């Protein structure tokens, strides 16, 4: 089975721009979660989707949004980028969501200049 | 605010030694406690996990000890190998959300 794929792997944007990241889960997995990883804050939960519904959301501003499509693929969007948004954005898929085992993708490295 | 507190931040162990990483939590609603291992340039990968009704779980060289009354759990890596050098994260789950500890960088010296 193919693993979780994330595109693009690297992104460079400037402040004020917006960005869309994509995640394709493992075939058959219906849950997709997103995390932000930074050296200072570690791994922070952004949101979780299951069958196109957001079931939980972390403590991030409204500039961070996401969605899930009927094929379970997910996208997250960050609008009005700030320098502090520079991070590794990780997507994880699982059959039905935590506590089912989450399988992480390699991440998208976002740099905001 | 970190819901799961992890220590130490880093540790160095000799090959064949034991690595011990500790985590503590406050929220008694957490119902699942996994440990993840992350290598540079890779996403985290599940190592071992435990539910709060179990006090210990062992898989190969990795053991989780869980103390529900103290709200603490720990990872023991026995017979540490250079290939175990990585960052380890404890986590706790509730309501479809994983809360991670800050991570521990383990270096195993040959």
Q: What are phi and psi of B28, to 5 degrees?
A: -75, -5
The model's pLDDT over A76-90, given as tens digits with 9 standing for 90+, comes to 999 999 999 999 999
B-chain residue closest to A40, CA distance: B102
B-chain residue closest to A32, CA distance: B96
The model's pLDDT over B80-104, given as tens digits with 9 standing for 90+, comes to 999 999 999 999 999 999 999 999 9
How many Cβ atoms sit within 10 Å of the Cβ of residue B8? 11
How many Cβ atoms sit within 10 Å of the Cβ of residue B33? 23
Burial of B3 (0-12, 13-18, 19+ CB in 10 A): middle
Beta strands in chain A (DSSP E): 5-7, 10-13, 19-24, 31-38, 42-50, 53-57, 64-68, 74-78, 87-94, 103-104, 108-112
- pLDDT (average), residues B38-64: 95
Nearest-CB residue to B32 (from A48, A58, A99): A99
Is B100 touching A (CB cutoff 8 A)?
Answer: yes
In the numeric block, which tokens belong to residue B2?
Answer: 């970190």
Specify whether the CB–CB gap between A48 and A66 falls below 8 A: no
Q: What is the pLDDT of residue B1?
A: 63
Nearest-CB residue to B96 (from A43, A48, A103): A48
Q: Which residue has the tokens 């521990």?
A: B104
What percentage of chain B has pLDDT greater than the value 70?
Answer: 99
pLDDT at B2 over 90: no
Task: Give, as one character, the DSSP assignment of residue B40.
Answer: T
CA of A72 vs chain B CAs: smallest distance (Å): 16
pLDDT at A26 over 70: yes
A-chain residue closest to B47, CA distance: A101
Is A99 touching B (CB cutoff 8 A)?
Answer: yes
């Amino acid at each position: 089975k193919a693993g979780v794929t994330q595109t693009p792997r690297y992104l460079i944007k400037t402040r004020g721009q917006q960005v869309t990241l994509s995640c394709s889960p493992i075939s058959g997995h219906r849950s997709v979660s997103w995390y932000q990883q930074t050296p200072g804050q570690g791994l922070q939960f952004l949101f979780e989707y299951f069958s196109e519904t957001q079931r939980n959301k972390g403590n991030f501003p409204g500039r961070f949004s996401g969605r899930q499509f009927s094929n379970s693929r997910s996208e997250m969007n960050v609008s009005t980028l700030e320098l502090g948004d520079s991070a590794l954005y990780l997507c994880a898929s699982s059959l039905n969501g935590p506590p089912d085992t989450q399988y992480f993708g390699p991440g998208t490295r976002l740099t905001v200049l | 605010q970190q819901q799961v507190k992890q220590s130490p931040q880093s540790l160095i162990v000799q090959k064949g030694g034991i690595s011990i990483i500790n985590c503590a939590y406050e929220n008694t609603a957490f119902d699942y406690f996994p440990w993840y291992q992350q290598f540079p340039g890779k996403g985290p990968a599940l190592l071992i996990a435990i539910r709060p009704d179990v006090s210990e779980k062992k898989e190969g060289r990795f053991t989780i000890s869980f103390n529900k009354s103290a709200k603490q759990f720990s990872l023991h890596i026995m017979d540490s190998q250079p290939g175990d050098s990585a960052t380890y994260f404890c986590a706790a789950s509730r309501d479809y959300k994983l809360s991670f500890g800050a991570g521990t960088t383990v270096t195993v010296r040959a």
